[in-house]
Amino acid sequence: MLVWRLVQPRVGRTEEPRADPGNLSFEGGYLFGGQGTSAFGAAYVAKGGYRALIAGQQVADQLASDQLAEALRDAKARAKEADTAECDPDAAAPASNAAGGVAAADEEAERQARREEREAQQEARRAAVAYNDELGAAVVKHLARVKVDGRVVKILAAVDFGGELDKIAARGARYGMPGFESSEELKSGKTKRTYLQAGLAGAQARTFIANAGKAPGDQAGRMVALAVMTRYANEDAVAQSSRSFSELDGGAQLPWSLETVELIDELAGERLPDHLLAPGREQREAQATRRRELVENRVWLAGQLDALEGMDAGQRAQVAAEAKRRFGEYSTQSWQLRDRIRELDAAHEADRSAEASAGAGAAQPEEGAA
């Protein structure tokens, strides 16, 4: 006869089995599941649900028999799996093979995606190289000599050729202008195209300008050509680590500084083939819109600073709110406007205090007056 003891009905929680081999323990899920003693109405749960008592030797015997039979089935199944694995590893774990097949398919898909990405990058690089070569030849042909008009004067005054020629050449001329080519010989005997570093590109640009004719149009034209190449060259021709990541900039010191890029685009549009201007046109138009906004905001700020003195407190508050919308709360422009408003408010308050003091003094009677 087997001896049964009380157990805790919570799943996974039983008392440690005694040393007596006749003892069996049951988890709560087994005792109170659909196949447990509750099906016989023979499990009595103590108050609080932490202990239970199995009533009836026959019920206990049946539970033990069911549990042992289930354990025997599990043992046979494991033994069969072990034998199968030893004889035929491929058939032993079909689920594992299926999972491995899915993983292999995912890895292959990733490799294919990377191959396609590399091919797309290589194609973009080939297209950029061809575009830059054609652009460079056209720029030298059509823009190396220009009429020195007002636009050219503004471009030459705004673009810092004297201080940033290395940067200008590295962003444009080295990618395709004739005379800026560079190559290296490989061990296989073949040659590989390379691109000049900024310092060497700048040196070549100085030589390019120095070789211009004596006419002002020749000298100005070569600098304009460098600017146009900087504006339109496609940096996809090189890896990202070799790009300059800079853009042509007319500065902000001159009245027309923010118009400089538009002036360059005008000259390029008049002299270069349209198919060389098409790439990046939408981006350039967006940049032009942004520059026009900057010019408009600059004019607005100057006008408001001049008009602040004649405004009342409410009007000044409206101007400050508009500056925040246009420039941002922590921008230099907003700070400049708020500082001017504080200055005017302080001066106004000082004037009011002085007037009040003067009025109080006038209201007091003189000593000795009746």
| pLDDT-based confidence at residue 22 (cuts at 50, 70, 90) | low
- According to the model, what pLDDT value does residue 13 have? 43
Q: In the predicted model, is pLDDT for residue 11 greater than 50?
A: no
Residue pLDDT, tens place only, 188-232: 888 888 999 999 999 999 999 999 989 999 999 999 999 999 999
- According to the model, what pLDDT value does residue 19 have? 42
- According to the model, what pLDDT value does residue 6 have? 41
Q: In the predicted model, is pLDDT for residue 267 greater than 70?
A: yes
CA 64, 68, 74 angle in degrees (round to 5)? 150
Residue 225, SS3 per DSSP: helix
Alpha carbons 153 and 165: distance in angstroms, whole number: 17
312: Cβ contacts below 8 Å, ≥ 6 apart: none
Element (H, E) at 43: strand 43-45
Q: What is the mean pLDDT of residues 128-151?
A: 94
Q: Which residue has the tokens 């673009």?
A: 159
Tell which residue, 156, 157, 158, 152, has the closest CA to residue 249: 158
| pLDDT-based confidence at residue 15 (cuts at 50, 70, 90) | very low
3-state secondary structure the chain: CCCCCCECCCCCCCCCCCCCCCCCCCCHHHHCCCCCHHHHCCEEECCCCCCEEECCHHHHHHHHHHHHHHHHHHHHHHHHHHHHHHHCHHHHCHHHHHHHHHHHHHHHHHHHHHHHHHHHHHHHHHHHHHHHHHHHHHHHHHHCCCCCCHHHHHHHHHCCHHHHHHHHHHHCHHHCCCCCCEEEECCCCCEEEECCCHHHHHHHHHHHHHCCCCCHHHHHHHHHHHHHHHHHCCHHHCCHHHCCCCCCCCCCCCCCHHHHHHHHHHHHHHHCCHHHHCCCHHHHHHHHHHHHHHHHHHHHHHHHHHHHHHCCHHHHHHHHHHHHHHHCCCCHHHHHHHHHHHHHHHHHHHHHHHHHHHHHHHHCCCCCCC
pTM of the model: 0.56
| pLDDT-based confidence at residue 169 (cuts at 50, 70, 90) | very high
CA 215, 217, 218 angle in degrees (round to 5)? 70
278, burial (CB in 10 Å: exposed 0-12, middle 13-18, buried 19+): exposed
- According to the model, what pLDDT value does residue 55 have? 62
